């Protein structure tokens, strides 16, 4: 776990006043994104280049502009030039010492008593004027299955007497996903087509998915990688993790049911995934770490997945929510309605365990590689992270406050994920939103 330092001081405030007023982005957060202003057409200029920024209140610190304004020490110049690029991979590759150094300088420059206010004020861009893109070039994407509650709920639909497969409690289960279809929050996608086979017919048909679902997940960005053939030890695993985001790994449940045996998800997962724009660094999450536990009557992890440090601080107390806004709600001016509230601290496998297991065979991770945590479900009906669970496989629809019902998603539905951390000794920090809208099939 990252150590607490001056950047985590709960009494710290910023001269950016919006950061001090129940913002997702107080000075204790300072998450990264890739952004640009939406348009320069009024000045008869083309679109700006995408570059790195850090959120503070309702603004973005343009890191390239801040560097040119002389806000940072000259020794940071090589590091800061990596942030001129339209992706964060080069900065991620520098490692946690570089990430922490920049965080410290930004914190001091944005603090209420900073002498750099005049220089830095001119480098702020309103978030309302910004557009974003996926912040890293994601070379490889691995989707894990770390919520035992989700695995049990889904397993009961198909194997009521034995919902968990024998390996689940021994090994962090994952599959290789499709990174090319990961999009930034705010996009829309068409309902996918695929082969569907009803249980009472002999042959499948090609048709639009009828059982479209969301999945409430946490996204994990790898920072510095490892050399092929050299595993990452459990207690060094988080040194290689840059930060977390919100992640919706959409699923076509009927396509999945037909295709997943024997090799797992394919077209049922590769049509769309949604990430939130902001990456909250592991250092920012230090005050919200909790003990990671394993029930005494469950199999205990093998030695390469077990350590004192992981047991003490392996979990992250991160609240997660799902909201839905139907097309009718949108036309009636009704805001998205919460349908689930969960927490990442119930994950059966920790971030470090995912990294250690992924590399134990010598697999090499690279800067910008991405993990999905798997759907994060709690133990109550209100805390499940997918409609497949909430509706018991489509048998019991949920009812929204305007009277509309859903078993699975319909065209025009917008799904919004939210996330935040808070404690009695640390301020609330947020992850922004991850939203996307379902369009009709092509």
Q: What is the pLDDT of residue 44?
A: 63
What are the tens digits of pLDDT across the range 388-407? 999 999 999 999 999 999 99
* C-alpha–C-alpha distance, residues 171 and 10, integer Å: 38
Residue pair 373/144 in contact by the 8 Å Cβ criterion: yes
Give the whole-number percent of the chain exceeding pLDDT 90. Answer: 93
Query: What does the pLDDT read at residue 41?
Result: 52
Average pLDDT over residues 336-352: 98
Average pLDDT rounded to a whole number, residues 89-102? 97
pLDDT of residue 239: 97
Q: Give the mean model confidence (pLDDT) for residues 248-270.
A: 93
The three-point CA angle 23-138-246 to 5° equals 30
Domains of the chain (ranges; CATH) run 6-133 (2.30.30.230), 141-439 (3.90.850.10)
77-91, 254-268, 280-294, 361-375: segment of lowest average pLDDT: 254-268
Confidence band, pLDDT 50/70/90 cuts, at residue 51: very high
- For residue 141, which of 52, 30, 217, 211 has the smallest C-alpha distance? 217
pLDDT at residue 263, rounded to an integer: 83
Question: pTM here?
Answer: 0.96
In this predicted structure, what is the pLDDT of residue 117? 98
**What pLDDT score was predicted for residue 42?**
55
Other beta carbons within 10 angstroms of residue 170's beta carbon come to: 13
**pLDDT score for 39:** 75
- Residues annotated catalytic, as ranges: 150
pLDDT, tens digit (0-9, with 9 covering 90-100), for 408-419: 999 999 999 999
The answer, yes or no, to whether residue 123 has pLDDT greater than 60, is yes
In DSSP notation, 340-361 reads: EEEEGGG-SS-HHHHHHHHHTT
Query: What is the C-alpha to C-alpha distance for residues 328 and 326, in angstroms, rounded to an integer?
Result: 5
pLDDT value at position 40? Answer: 65
Structure tokens at 302: 């093998």
pLDDT attached to residue 189: 98
């Amino acid at each position: 776990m990252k150590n607490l330092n001056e950047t985590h001081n709960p009494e710290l405030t910023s001269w950016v006043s919006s950061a001090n007023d129940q913002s997702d982005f107080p000075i204790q957060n300072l998450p990264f994104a890739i952004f640009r202003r939406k348009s320069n057409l009024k000045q008869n200029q083309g679109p700006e280049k995408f570059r790195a920024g850090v959120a503070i209140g309702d603004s973005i610190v343009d890191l390239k502009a801040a560097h040119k304004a002389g806000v940072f020490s000259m020794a940071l110049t090589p590091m800061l030039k990596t942030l001129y690029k339209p992706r964060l991979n080069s900065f991620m590759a520098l490692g946690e010492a570089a990430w922490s150094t920049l965080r410290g300088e930004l914190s001091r420059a944005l603090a209420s008593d900073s002498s750099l206010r005049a220089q830095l004020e001119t480098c702020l861009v309103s978030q309302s004027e910004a557009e974003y893109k996926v912040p890293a070039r994601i070379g490889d994407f691995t989707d894990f299955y770390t919520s035992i509650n989700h695995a049990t709920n889904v397993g009961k639909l198909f194997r009521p007497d034995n919902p968990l497969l024998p390996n689940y409690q021994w090994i962090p289960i994952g599959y290789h996903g499709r990174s090319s279809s990961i999009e930034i929050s705010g996009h829309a996608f068409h309902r996918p087509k695929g082969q569907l086979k009803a249980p009472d017919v002999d042959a499948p048909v090609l048709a639009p998915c009828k059982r479209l679902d969301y999945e409430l997940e946490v996204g994990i960005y790898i920072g510095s990688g490892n050399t092929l053939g050299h595993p990452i030890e459990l207690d060094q695993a988080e040194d290689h993790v840059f930060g977390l985001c919100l992640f919706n790994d959409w699923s076509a449940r009927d396509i999945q049911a037909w295709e997943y045996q024997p090799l797992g998800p394919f077209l049922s997962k590769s049509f769309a995934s949604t990430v939130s724009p902001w990456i909250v660094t592991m250092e920012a999450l230090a005050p919200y770490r909790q003990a990671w536990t394993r029930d005494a009557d469950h199999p205990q992890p093998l030695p390469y997945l077990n350590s004192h440090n992981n047991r003490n601080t392996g979990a992250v107390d991160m609240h997660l929510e799902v909201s839905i806004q139907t097309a009718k709600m949108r036309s009636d001016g009704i805001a998205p309605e919460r349908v689930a509230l969960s927490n990442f601290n119930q994950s059966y496998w920790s971030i470090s365990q995912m990294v250690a297991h992924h590399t134990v065979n010598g697999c090499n991770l690279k800067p910008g590689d991405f993990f999905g945590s798997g759907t994060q479900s709690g133990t109550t009906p209100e805390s499940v992270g997918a409609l497949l669970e909430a509706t018991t496989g489509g048998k019991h629809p949920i009812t929204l406050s305007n009277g509309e019902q859903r078993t699975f998603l319909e065209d025009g539905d917008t799904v919004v994920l939210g996330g935040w951390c808070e404690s009695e000794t640390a301020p609330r920090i947020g992850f922004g939103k991850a939203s996307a809208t379902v369009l009709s099939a092509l």
